Amino acid sequence: MTLYLLKRLAVLIVSAAVAAVAVFAFMALLPGDPAEIALGVNATPDAVAALRRQFGTDRPPAAQFLDWVGGLAHGDFGVSYVTSAPIGPQIGERLGVTAVLVLGGMVLALAVAVPLGTYAAVHHRNPLGAAVSAVSQLGIAVPAFLAGILLVFVFAVKAQALPSGGYVPIADSPQEWLRSLLLPWLSLGLVQGAVLTRYVRSAVLDVMREDYLRTARAKGRGSTGALWRHGLRNASIPVVTVLGLQLATLLIGAVVVERVFVLPGLGDLLLNGVAGRDLLLVQGVVMVLVAAVLLINFVVDVAYRLLDPRLR
């Protein structure tokens, strides 16, 4: 297991290095000079050249890349081209909001998917079980941002029970913090819960057809007891793999949902950076998102090996 962890860690580091090269190259290929954008169309050539030296964009791309990667290794993301403020603290402040949004959405998705998917599998010949499958199939077709707009219309505009947007820090008011995040959690969690429900149903159905589960029932355990004691852990193995992919999808989907609900997370920071042509800020946020996805995949690989003793 230790050797496996070391191998996966090496793959993680190499993947992060390749991702850093790809992100830097993509940003370097985008049109526009940050110095010219920052100074405006009336800037003199001398002023543009001076600002390029200040930004460091007058140096060769390889030197810029090495400086950027070296700064990342020490937690230094550089300075914004637009506001001249350090980028690292901005990302740190926004990362907490995005992490809470994604984790809350995933917890809600699991709370929906595990019981409903299991019920749909156990009662797959029952009309109610078929109805659960049909509703989950419908939920897959609804994007998270559209679900967010519908939830705002129902709960904020019509019922006026929850705020339509904005964010209140938990230190200011835990109750308002929870109210400000309920609709974003629902918009992410219900959509991802519909996707996961299908996978849970499929995994539980496959386990229910296995010989060892029939043997457990034949030895006196009821269907529910046999499934709970012997089936759910085996059914969770393929679900964990899908869960990692969905968590990465949830992280990317949070970028749009934050815009819908006006949440000060990484998505809002990223879109503001794109609108303001703050390429170094965009580069840093994208790298953080990529690193998060790679880290999620690493954790899923380790969890998969822990759940399945055959791999060990």
Counting Cα atoms < 13 Å in the Cβ hemisphere of 305 gives 13
pTM of the model: 0.82
**Coil, strand, or helix at residue 71?**
helix
Task: Specify which residues 79 forms β-bridges with.
Answer: 86
DSSP 229-273: IIIHHHHHHHHHHHHHHHHHHHHHHHHHHHHHTT--SHHHHHHHH
Is residue 194 within 8 Å of 180, Cβ to Cβ? no
Distance CA 52, CA 283 (A): 18
CA gap 126, 296 in Å, rounded: 37
- What is the distance between the alpha carbons of residues 236 and 114, in angstroms, rounded to a whole number? 10
| Contact (CB, 8 A) for 19 and 294 | yes
Residue 48: per-residue pLDDT: 79
For the chain, count helices (H), then strands (E). 13, 0
Name which of 93, 115, 111 is nearest 103 in CA terms: 111
Whole-number Å distance between alpha carbons of 273 and 268: 9
* Sequence-separated (6 or more) residues with CB below 8 Å from residue 124: 130, 133, 201, 205
pLDDT in tens, the chain (312 residues): 778 788 888 888 899 899 999 988 888 777 777 777 777 767 788 887 887 888 887 888 888 888 888 888 888 888 888 888 899 999 988 988 999 999 999 899 889 888 888 888 888 788 888 888 888 877 777 888 788 888 888 998 888 888 888 888 888 889 999 999 999 999 988 888 888 888 888 888 877 777 777 777 677 666 666 666 666 667 777 777 777 777 777 887 788 888 889 889 888 888 888 877 788 888 899 999 888 888 888 887 787 777 766 666
Cα radius of gyration rounded to whole Å, the chain:
24
* CA 234 distance to own-chain centroid: 26
Q: What contacts 169, CB < 8 A, 6 or more positions away?
A: 177
For residue 102, what are the CA distances in angstroms to 56, 75, 108, 112, 147?
35, 23, 10, 15, 16
> Phi and psi of 79, rounded to 5°?
-120, 140
